[in-house]
Structure formats: C-alpha cells, structure tokens
Amino acid sequence: RHRLLAMLSQETLTRLDQLYTQVYRDNYSLLMAYRQDGFEGPQEVLMAAQVALAHRATQTIQALTAPSAEELSAPNYRAQLMELAAIATETEHLDCRLNLEASVPQLDKVLHQWLQQVLYAENSPLLQNFIELLSVTRRLHIPIQGDRLQEQYAQFLREQWVPRLMPSVLETTADLPLSAEA
C-alpha cells in the first residue's frame, strides 16, 4: 500500500513539474520584460519558475553523480556543469531562490567524490570542473558542508605532502640554533 501511494505521489509530482515548467516556458518573455523594467513579475509565474528551475537543478545534480576521473573530464559532465551554471544565471536574472534542500546530501557526495578525484588524479580539467561546481553551488545558495571538504583536503595534505616535505624541512631546520641565546 505504501509503495502504491509513493508511486502515485511520484506520478502526481512529475505531472506538476511538467505543468510548472510549461507555465514558466510560456511566460518566460513576460518575466524578462518585467525584470528589464525593474519590476517583479506576477507571483504565480515566479512560483512556476522557481519550481521548474529547482526541478531542472535537481535533475542536473543527479546526473553529476558518477565518477571515475575519465568520466569527470568527459564532455557530458562539462555539459551538466554548464546546465547548472545556466540555471544559476536564470535564478539570478529572476532574483529568486530555489528550494534545493533535498539535493544537499547528493551534492555533498558529488563534491567529495570529485575532490577525491581532483586530489589523487592530478588532472587540471577535473580541478577546473570542481571549482566551477563550487562556484555554481554558491550562486544557487546551496548550503554545502565546506568544513568536510576542508577536512578531506587537510587529510590529503597530511598523507601526501607532509611526508614529502618533512625531509627537506628537517634538513633546513637542522642548522638553526635551538635557543634564542645561540
């Protein structure tokens, strides 16, 4: 019974997303005309835009999950990033905020996967994609867990770079006096 209700609910939500998307598309030029004149568009059409853009953003974030280093630098992922950036630009033009709270855990997972690939693959296109994803996330006002990303990066430094640098640091400091008197 619960599965049947969930399936029916999902069908209803899918139809509503399609309806809101159609209302947004049909009235896009009207919204842009209002914005160009410095006015806020009709609330109903703005709501349709928010729902439609949030749905597009959610679908795009879902498409970003994956990742081997080869897949991340593939044109498909670049296209998904560009789509997310386009959605961010539309939301900025409309001066609206999207409700993407449900996508936060998935986006957090994607960011951690991508950071792992960036750090260990040493591939500059991956780094560029990662930085762009962080930028778009900020533009869409998605609350990511930056502290976890920083911890992941710090762990990488401790494991990969500190051991490499320690011998040279020890050699450099060996000739330094240990006390202020010397």
The confidence band for 182, taking pLDDT boundaries of 50, 70 and 90, is: very low
d(CA 85, CA 78): 11
d(CA 52, CA 46): 10
- Please tell me the total number of residues recorded for the chain in this structure: 182
CA neighbor of 115 nearest in space, from 80, 144, 76, 87 = 144
Residues 54-106 have pLDDT tens digits of 999 999 998 887 555 556 556 677 888 899 999 999 999 898 889 999 888 88
pTM of the model: 0.74
Residues 5-16 have pLDDT tens digits of 776 778 888 899
